[in-house]
Chain A
């Protein structure tokens, strides 16, 4: 049981640190980074729910986030809807659009064709935004979206996003450890066997689309209220690749993987700004190195360390 306590203690330590961090001399800038980390790890974790757990190779999840972001942004800015309503609405709207317009057709396809369809889905959004320039701001995007509450500072946004981060991770944890999560994994591991054991593969896979897009859309809502703006660049190739990298780097199909990956990418990406134009090259090199030596991602590195520690402990206090 030693390793459980060890991991649990580390997790508590990290959470307590995050909780106290604004009083430990955090600058406005580092608080901003944490906010990005909270939101992007939720996007990555939901993407991982689809790709890692359910084996649905979606490439459109940044699009889900954009739908949520724009929905919340427009509701708050043009109609004055308060954030505690815009965020759930953003989630529900995103889920409805994605499930009906993407999930239903995608489930008639398989493998690479799902990837293509989801990519096209996300790819049509920027041109849709240009077409609807009057309400979405077109290429300029939406700016000065109202914060969570009037006069909000970075510390306020930090805590609100932290709570959102904890709540959504708890929900994902519960999904993964529920019969629904088991069905996702069963269908991924062996579709026909699961099907013949009574798993309704269409319903379960549709649930993946609905849940993942609901939470990703809500994260999009959090994003616009925390940061104040959103534009088609949010849908660009860089955030797309960076989020994929978070999942791959952290560990596909693991609960903590995407969160660790998001931490490495968000903080690493900022740290590497010192390197100027070399930033993305260095980030790419970092990703390649980790994946090369630890194909299971950072989480595998953790397991290796855990094993070493355990063996060390066992050597000191031989059991039996």
Chain B
């Protein structure tokens, strides 16, 4: 349902992405990992139209969406969250969701559905600035979900959360995937989480594809072990 072909992005002399091609199938949870600065967030930014790609093409449901603007991409059914927890801090929790519902889905009641799905009713009138990290992330996720997206892209959604919160969050991600049939692309540093959550994954290193394939076999890949896991499985875990 989603694919990139030879996607590259340079910032001046820095090449953040080089010739990245991958495909995501309808209904799957697809993982992306890689060291700091590998270009994971840049990949999201290029896909969602924040930056135009330097070269390459992006396809969604058979349509070439390269160079679409972020709001157009949202209307086609792709929503995302940000690595830095982002909400509309002066708006209430409910109004945060309403932005996605009214402007993304053009269906106001989707805000109420998401409020219930994520169990945010108790804080619905609370200004978004007065929330703890976990709830802030839920609100950001909720706003994205309220756009009635078909593809949801999550950029390190679990960074900074406690183990208990991570498990709760994973539960929600699985439910969104299974109950609402939303396809998900998730960036996550912790490989074991990604292996248990996804069937297939992409590992980026220095803007290039290091690994693309079955999640179960990733730790057996010689290059992944060498470059990403640092031989002993150290680096990926040290990111926390």
Contact = CB atoms under 8 A, between A and B. Distances in A.
Contact of B48 (A186, A196, A200): A196
B88 interface: yes
Q: Which 3 A-B pairs have the closest CB atoms?
A: A198-B104, A198-B74, A198-B103
A127 interface: no
B188 interface: no
Contacts of A182: 91, 95, 98-99, 102
Contacts of A186: 88, 91, 99
A185 interface: yes
B200 interface: no
A179 interface: yes
A195 B106 CA distance: 14
Which among A197, A200, A253 has the highest number of chain B CB atoms within 10 Å?
A197
B86 interface: yes
A197 B90 contact: no
A183 interface: yes
Contacts of A185: 88, 90-91
A194 B88 CA distance: 8
Interface in A175-228: 179, 182-183, 185-186, 189-190, 192-201
Contacts of A192: 50, 70, 82, 86
Given A185-B88, A189-B89, A189-B91, A197 B79 contact: yes
What size tier do the contact residues of chain B reach? 20 to 34
A198 B100 CA distance: 7
A11 B73 CA distance: 45
A197 B147 contact: yes
A125 to B, nearest CB: 34
A107 to B, nearest CB: 13
A196 B80 CA distance: 7
Given A185-B90, A193-B140, A196-B71, 20 more contacts: A179-B98, A179-B103, A183-B103, A185-B88, A189-B88, A190-B89, A193-B143, A194-B88, A194-B103, A195-B71, A196-B73, A196-B79, A196-B144, A197-B143, A197-B144, A198-B104, A198-B106, A199-B99, A200-B71, A253-B90
A193 B103 contact: no
B126 interface: no
Which among B73, B80, B99, B104 has the highest number of chain A CB atoms within 10 Å?
B99
Contacts of A195: 50, 69-71
Interface residues of A, number: 18
A193 B86 CA distance: 7
B48 A198 contact: no
Nearest to A194: B99
A197 B48 contact: no
B74 A196 contact: yes
Interface string B59-95: 0000000000111011100011010001111110001
Given A182-B98, A182-B99, A192-B50, A197 B74 contact: yes
Interface in B161-189: none
Contacts of B82: 192-193
Contacts of A189: 87-91
B129 to A, nearest CB: 9
17 contacts: A179-B98, A179-B103, A190-B89, A193-B82, A193-B87, A193-B88, A193-B140, A194-B88, A195-B50, A196-B50, A196-B70, A196-B73, A197-B103, A197-B143, A198-B74, A198-B103, A198-B106
Contact of B104 (A197, A201, A253): A197
A124 B192 CA distance: 63
